[in-house]
């Protein structure tokens, strides 16, 4: 089954404790992206990747890191989480057609709470 998986689905942690949220897709998509969803703010892009070793900042990259060492995986790293990073996080992937983004497939989401 074609899908985007995220782990963990739920996470409660404390300020300053490094964490990683994994994202994996099995559709051989070039494009992958991380978003956070907050009430009243909609979805905001954190980072995206056009291909292996090619990443760029979205609108809200502060406090986050990403890496794209393999095509299928795109982990999101919070080196020192803070309470303002409490949010619902979505990973997504998309094929690129002529270098242009297409329909995105979203993961189920990770609800993160930072105390």
Among 1, 10, 42, 69, binds other proteins (CB under 8 A): 42
43 scored as a contact of other proteins (CB under 8 A): yes
14 scored as a contact of other proteins (CB under 8 A): no
The tokens of 73 are what?
Answer: 């995986």
Q: Which stretch binds other proteins (CB under 8 A): 7-15, 42-50, 67-75, 78-86?
A: 42-50
50 scored as a contact of other proteins (CB under 8 A): yes
Among 21, 66, 76, 92, binds other proteins (CB under 8 A): 92
Q: Using CA atoms, how far apart are residues 94 and 104, in angstroms rounded to an integer?
A: 5
83: helix, strand or coil: helix
Burial 78-89 (b: 16+ CB within 10 A, else e): beebeeebbbeb
Counted residue by residue, the chain has a size of 115
Contacts of residue 41, defined as CB under 8 A and 6 or more positions apart, other chains included, come to none
40 scored as a contact of other proteins (CB under 8 A): yes
The binding site for other proteins (CB under 8 A) comprises 31, 33, 35, 40-45, 48, 50, 56, 58-59, 90, 92, 96, 99-109
């Amino acid at each position: 089954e074609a899908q985007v998986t995220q782990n963990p689905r739920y996470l409660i942690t404390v300020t300053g404790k490094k964490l990683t949220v994994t994202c994996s897709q099995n559709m051989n998509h070039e494009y992958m992206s991380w978003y956070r969803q907050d009430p009243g703010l909609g979805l905001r892009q954190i980072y995206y990747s056009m291909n292996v070793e090619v990443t760029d900042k979205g609108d809200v990259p502060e406090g986050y890191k990403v890496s794209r060492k393999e095509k299928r995986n795109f982990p999101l790293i919070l080196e020192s989480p803070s309470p303002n990073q409490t949010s619902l996080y979505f990973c997504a992937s998309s094929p690129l057609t002529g270098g242009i983004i297409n329909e995105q497939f979203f993961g189920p989401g990770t609800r993160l709470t930072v105390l």
